[in-house]
Amino acid sequence: MMRAFSYVLLLGSSFFLFYACTKNTDSSSDLIGNWVRRSDFDGVARSEAVSFVIGDTAYIGTGYDGTVRLNDLWKYDVDNNYWIQRATMPGTARSSAVAFNTSTKGYVTTGYDGLLKLKDTWEYTPATNSWAHKSDFGGSARVDAVAFGIADKGYVTTGNDGNDTKDFWQYDPASDTWTQKVSLGGSKREGAVAFVYKNQGYVVTGINNGLTVNDFWMYDPAVDKWAEKRFITNVSTDTYDDNYGTTLIVRSNATAFVMNDKSGTAKAYVCTGENGSILKTVWEYDFANDLWVQKTAWEGLERTGAISFGVKNRGFLGT
């Protein structure tokens, strides 16, 4: 599916635009958040790319431009608002892969080359602008999985290997090994989103056998357990979820990032994607209260399969 890059949520992009988001209030709307256009992405427009952040630097790579799969890599300088191409990933060009990072390196694994689902893993070192081939992903070859990094280890779960999955794997760069961990609770899924807060990983949205899922899970590596959060549809008899509806938050092929709000409290944002139609809506998740609130919609065109990241208290969305 085509995705494009650059808006910042000053609460971040568009068809190789970038938008960033800050937390300003628009007086013409009851929704809060301000999308500001940033420098257009310098690479070709694409969908199903990956992104990772090392320090205060974001990277975007791989994807599908509508004709061919890609294996290029681009670095974004947030302070100076420009893009620079970095070393091309030596592995098979792909889309629908996943990426995660440690404090010093980025990793790309799984994906689709147009014929085959993949499971090879590649490590990028910014200090030397170089790639190294690492051990294959421990699970089955798959597409549309999710990944996140915590405490210099990587985690990969869900996706489709011919069937939707929810097995969960940890990658240890120190030993270059994959270890299977306790599986994600709830529904199998593909096309979900993942994000990290206080060294815990969160997985939400996606589809299972073509139907959107409404369960929401948090993984704590300190105890190797998943905990279920509140559903993201209006299924309770309480009032907190009355604004969720049955279709407003659920979606697939969305994107997510974490940033601080105006008060300095970290929140997560789930943006764009699809659910019967292509979406541009944005929902904010409050970690402290396990609640969702709708925010100002993405200001570019509706899209699916975009990428996003949070850097220096701004969220960026594009492609």
Structure tokens at 107: 């990793």
In this structure, are residues 60 and 5 in contact, taking their beta carbons and an 8 Å threshold? yes
Q: How many CB atoms lie within 10 A of CB 153?
A: 16
- List the chain pLDDT tens, one digit each, 319 residues: 333 444 555 443 333 345 566 555 444 445 777 899 999 999 999 999 999 999 999 999 999 999 999 999 999 999 999 999 999 999 999 999 999 999 999 999 999 999 999 999 999 999 999 999 999 999 999 999 999 999 999 999 999 999 999 999 999 999 999 999 999 999 999 999 999 999 999 999 999 999 999 999 999 999 999 999 999 999 999 999 999 999 999 999 999 999 987 778 899 999 999 999 999 999 999 999 999 999 999 998 999 999 999 999 899 999 9
Write down the pLDDT at residue 288: 96
Tokens 């085959």: give the residue.
116
Write down the pLDDT at residue 12: 35
Closest CA to 75 of 95, 61, 89: 61
Closest CA to 272 of 12, 10, 57: 12
Q: How many CB atoms lie within 10 A of CB 222?
A: 9
Task: Return d(Cα 236, Cα 106) in angstroms, integer.
Answer: 40
Name, in order, each residue with C-beta under 8 angstroms of 2's C-beta and a sequence gap of 6 or more.
45, 46, 47, 64, 66, 303, 304, 305
H or E element that contains 193:
strand 193-197
In this structure, are residues 257 and 12 in contact, taking their beta carbons and an 8 Å threshold? yes
- Cβ burial, residue 237 (10 Å; 0-12/13-18/19+): exposed
Task: Return d(Cα 291, Cα 232) in angstroms, integer.
Answer: 9
pTM of the complete model beyond 0.75 = yes
3 state DSSP class of 54: strand
Write down the pLDDT at residue 263: 78
Let me know the angle formed at the C-alpha of 218 by 280 and 254, rounded to the nearest 5 degrees.
15
In this structure, are residues 169 and 157 in contact, taking their beta carbons and an 8 Å threshold? yes
